[in-house]
Amino acid sequence: MFTAVDVIRTKRDAGELRKEAIDWVIDAYTRGEVADEQMSALAMAIFLNDMNAREIADWTDAMIRSGIRMDLSSVGKQCVDKHSTGGVGDKITLPLAPLVAAFGVAVPQLSGRGLGHTGGTLDKLESIPGFDVTMTEDQVITQLRDIGAVICAASSDLAPADKKLYALRDITSTVEAIPLIASSIMSKKIAEGTDALVLDVKVGSGAFMKDEKRARQLAETMVRLGADHGLRTTALLTDMNTPLGRTAGNGLEVTESVEVLAGGGPSDVVELTVALASEMLALAGMPEADPAQALRDGRAMDTWRKMVTAQGGDPDAAMPSAKETADITADRDGIVTTMDAYSVGVAAWRLGAGRTRQGEKVQAAAGVEILKTVGEPVRAGEAVFRLHTDTPERIEPARQTLNGQWSIGTNPPAPTSIVLDRIGTA
């Protein structure tokens, strides 16, 4: 017989939790027998004293078994998913899902909403008039079979323990605990029933993992969890010190994603989209596929339009525009040498693109447009940022957030690759 106090004490004292204790506490918490206060204490004990590989595996198993497991076997195609640990301007899912689906691979992208400085894929898609992110399992399977790409909300029956625990972690400063991040992500992805998974593990100022060593540890932990469950998994470590692309916001990022699908768009967004697509296609048995060509020849755009239409959206509709805009200008000539991703994300959040609590509405048109990015020349008086919002009183706090968080110099920074490393089982 277990009690919450005994389980908390074991981990508080840096002890190892038995499988039976983990199974009990996850089940009891999901049913409401263990109180939020007790699970908060356990989460903090895990944050401070860590878990070993066996504990993390058992914790993940218990999270999976707290709900249903989807069966995608009737789709009749290889199912490959992608998960990002979150960043500023990270709109990659939007062009990536239809791009990979254009090769006959099914992409069941069950996504989430933004909270704090990182945006949510569902919030971005809901900027498209009529787009519906709520789908049943049968609808998901039908759309995967017919079109190949789905981007929607996960069922509440999928790893419900994670839903409860994630909300608790967010308000108890335990989000960054590697065992809890890894089990949260992988329990949902394993329960989703996909055949393979590519992880985009972000590192830098705009990511939850600021340190590359910890980001690598997280990636290795998740890849191992995938392998243990027969889920073919690889991970890319990617740079999140500078915002991805030229937009951070909801509708703004949709517009930029469509530019990528049309064969244009910012080079860093294209680079990462193609890199992740190549990983996903390789796991699906197509290592020679050329995703860059599928962006150029319009195949990915065709799939995007079909997906948007199937989910009730209008691919030709104009995106919402903000009622108020304001520019932040350069005070001298030079080259933009740095731009802090976290600050751009916070500015977009302050403008109304993000939420401070679950369930709060976001502004579809709010966000930050980056008119001059790192490495580009700028003249005194030229706009570097354009702030978008429906509420003018939000502009000054956003402006203050960006003050001192970008710089102009005389020498361009050394070119860098957005992909830092690849982590796999072999």
Q: Which residues are catalytic?
A: 83, 162, 169, 184, 188
CB burial class (10 A; 0-12, 13-18, 19+) of residue 389? buried
Which residues 6+ apart lie within 8 Å of 197 measured at CB?
A: 80, 81, 82, 83, 189, 226, 231, 232, 233, 234, 283
How many CA within 13 A on the CB side of residue 239? 16
* DSSP element (H, E) containing 109: strand 107-111
152 vs 425: CA distance, rounded Å: 29
CA quadruple 47, 51, 53, 55: dihedral positive or negative? Answer: negative
Q: How many residues does the structure list for the chain?
A: 426
DSSP-assigned letter for residue 319: P
Q: How far is CA 110 from the centre of its chain?
A: 11
- Per-state percent for the chain, helix, strand, coil, to nearest 5: 45, 15, 40
Asked whether the beta carbons of 294 and 102 are under 8 A apart, the reply is yes
Report yes or no: 151 and 98 within 8 Å, Cβ to Cβ: no
Q: Which of 6, 24, 205 is nearest to 118 (CA)?
A: 205
What are the E-state strand segments in 134-285? 149-153, 196-203, 232-239, 247-249
DSSP-assigned letter for residue 159: S
DSSP state of 56: H
Ramachandran sector of residue 208 (left: φ over 0; alpha: ψ -120 to 50; beta: rest): alpha
**Number of C-beta neighbours around residue 357 at 10 A:** 9
Supply the angle between the helices 178-192 and 53-64 in degrees, to the nearest 10: 40
